[in-house]
Amino acid sequence: MRILTNQQMRMADEYTINVLGVPSLELMERAGRALAKEAETLAPNGRVLCVCGGGNNGGDGFVCARILKTDGWEVDVVFFAERISKDCLVNKEKWTEIGGAILSETPKKGYALVVDCLVGTGLKGALIGKNAEAVEGMNALKKQGAKVLSADIPSGLCGDNGLAYGTCVCADVTLCIGEIKAGTALADGLDCAGEVKCVDIGICLTEESYAERLTKEKAALLLPTRKRNSHKGTYGKAAIVAGSVEYTGAAYLSAAACLRSGAGYTTLFVPSGILPCYLLKAPEILLKSTNEGGRYEFNEENMRSLLGYNAVAYGMGMGISEEVAKGAEFLLRHYEGKLILDADGLNSLAAFRAAELADLFENKKCDVICTPHGKEFSRLSGMDMQEIVENGLFAATGFAKTHSVNLLLKNAATIITDGERICVNTAGSSGQAKGGSGDVLAGVLAGLCAMGMTAFDGGCLAAYLCGKSAEIAAARIGEYSLTATDIIGCLGEAFLSLKV
């Protein structure tokens, strides 16, 4: 499913209207009809309230109201905009011509369904005044039991980054017109948009490359084939370089997740001082020492033993240090497989190799995927957290393109990009917002890459599988009690779900 920014959607609208010659009023009629059809499905009985703004989003709402009223529904419309677009005005007049009344304020009760057509994707900043009051009124009706259907995007939500800067409609369903809007798949959009659907009304795209939302079908196509006539060497060797005396769990979680992800061999490299922690915890894991003591120290001879692995995940729970930075630098300069740089591998590069970072990435020999969460990406990129979130898809894409790396930016919605291609994973659960979830993701990614997947494709599939596994686990024990270990335990079912 394609995901479009505001600018991309505007270009598609203009191309369809100005080049292909489809009248804008015809597109509005199609959009309104689609809303009416969804409204009838969402709330087949009861009174309907359409809250319309003065833009084309409001015009869609007037069409929806007219069609529902013509079909015998009881419909009221709220409209108080001082400015109105040409097409919206046409459909407002059609509404009044059939006897439709217009209210200036949102009623406080009496509706089975609210159709939110107040503000579209072009919103910048917080809603104020009557618009904010109308949103609060719609949310109040929802609390009384009304269903809420938003047209294109919930009013109050930024279409590019999914941020709600102020009050925002909390929809049960958001019906995106033409294509999925980026704001519904990012940040607050995950909580405010409800179930996101898409309807084709004949808007044609002009660009070749768009972001894509990861779906079960897309993930299934990425899943590597396993042949019956094979052996452990067929599926590659994965190395997990992780852990310190403070963070022994990170290493285990990564290695255990890798075991569940298809690699033929999983080897855990840890400092010898903590190596006994892992003896027979998972007998399938091979154990090797990186150095003496309880924290990582760079040892070139031991690091060279990693060069024969198909995939290396480096950094989980290692601590931030010059030594860890040395190890990451060595791998970037010498390793030729798939390298997953995570957690303290990235933090140490940011702290001790910031000046050399561009050169290291430019001259690397390996297929690199960096897997930071927001704060780690802030350290790595130099952007502050607010800038990263407000840039939506573009902060990750810009970094990946500039440094010629793959980037998996972890958040409630995970962005995976190589600077050109962009995938957004929305599978997952709030239960993943706990320590250890990132370690599991790094391990799954290492296992997939060891089998031969590219870093980009592996990142997409790993993000989806971890999210799906968390959903399966949360359905059994709830989001509050979910742990990273539970995610590992349900990975098998997540894989199986792609076969159904």
> Could you report the per-residue pLDDT of 453-467, keeping only the tens digit for each?
999 999 999 999 999
Q: Are residues 171 and 275 in the same domain?
A: no
Does 207 score more than 80 pLDDT? no
- What are the DSSP E strand ranges found in 127-226? 147-151, 173-177, 180-181, 195-199, 211-213
| Structural element, H or E, at residue 75 | strand 75-78
- How does pLDDT run across 84-129, given as a tens digit for each residue? 999 999 999 999 999 999 999 999 999 999 999 999 988 889 999 9
Question: Domain containing 456 — which CATH number?
Answer: 3.40.1190.20
Contact 146, 107 (CB under 8 A): no
pLDDT at 1: 83
What per-residue string of b and e applies to 284-299 under the rule 16 or more CB within 10 Å gives b?
A: ebebeebbeebbbbbb
Q: Which domain holds residue 313?
A: 216-497
Q: Are 195 and 253 members of one domain?
A: no
* Per-residue model confidence as pLDDT tens digits over 318-329: 999 999 999 999
Distances (CA, A) of 446 to 154, 199, 240, 287, 472: 38, 37, 8, 16, 22
The reply to whether 148 and 12 lie within a common domain is: yes
Predicted confidence (pLDDT) at residue 274 exceeds the cutoff of 90 = yes
Cα(134)–Cα(77) distance, rounded to whole angstroms?
12
144-157 confidence digits (pLDDT tens): 999 999 999 999 99
Report the alpha-carbon distance of residue 51 to residue 16 in Å, rounded.
27
Query: Over the stretch 186-198, which tens digit does the pLDDT of each residue have?
Result: 999 999 999 999 9
Domain stop point among 186, 210, 234: 210
Whose tokens are 């959903």? That residue is 471
Q: Judge whether residue 429 has pLDDT over 80.
A: yes
Q: How far apart are CA 409 and CA 405, in angstroms?
A: 12
For residue 155, give the amino acid letter.
S
For residues 74 and 450, give the distance between their C-alpha atoms in angstroms, rounded to a whole number: 60
Q: Would you say residue 348 has pLDDT above 80?
A: yes
- β-strands 48-52, 113-117: how paired? parallel
Angstrom distances, CA of residue 453 to CA of 303, 331, 362, 367, 457 = 23, 19, 22, 11, 6
303 with 206, same domain: the answer is no
For residue 206, pLDDT beyond 90: no
Same domain, 33 and 162: yes
232 pLDDT higher than 90? yes
Last-in-domain residue among 210, 238, 271: 210
Are residues 300 and 408 part of one domain? yes
DSSP assignment string, 137-161? HHHHHHHTT-EEEEESS-TTB-TTT
Whether 374 and 308 map to the same domain: the answer is: yes
The pTM for the full model equals 0.95
373-378: long-range contacts, CB 8 A cutoff, minimum separation 24: 373/409, 373/410, 373/411, 373/438, 374/409, 374/410, 374/411, 376/343, 376/346, 376/347, 376/350, 377/407, 377/409
Same domain membership, residue 176 and residue 201: yes
How many domains does one find in the chain? 2
Share of the chain above pLDDT 70, in %: 100
Q: What is the 8-class DSSP label of residue 274?
A: T
Tell me, yes or no, whether 382 and 447 share the same domain.
yes
Report the first-to-last Cα separation within the chain, whole angstroms. 19
Q: What is the pLDDT of residue 246?
A: 96
| 191 and 138 share one domain | yes
Lowest mean pLDDT across 207-221, 257-271, 436-450: 207-221
pLDDT band at 500 (very low <50, low <70, confident <90, very high): confident
Give pLDDT tens digits for 369-415.
999 999 999 999 999 999 999 999 999 999 999 999 999 999 999 99
Q: For position 466, what pLDDT does the model report?
A: 98
Pick the closest to residue 345 from 266, 224, 243 (CA basis).
243
pLDDT digits (tens, 9 = 90+) for 43-98: 999 999 999 999 999 999 999 999 999 999 999 999 999 999 999 999 999 999 99
35 plus 174 within the same structural domain: yes
Q: Which of 210, 226, 245 is at the close of a domain? A: 210
Q: What is the CATH number of the domain that holds 139?
A: 3.40.50.10260
CB 310 within 8 A of CB 450: yes
Residue 428 has what pLDDT?
97
The kind and range of the H/E element at 2 are strand 2-4
Residues 221 and 188 in one domain: no
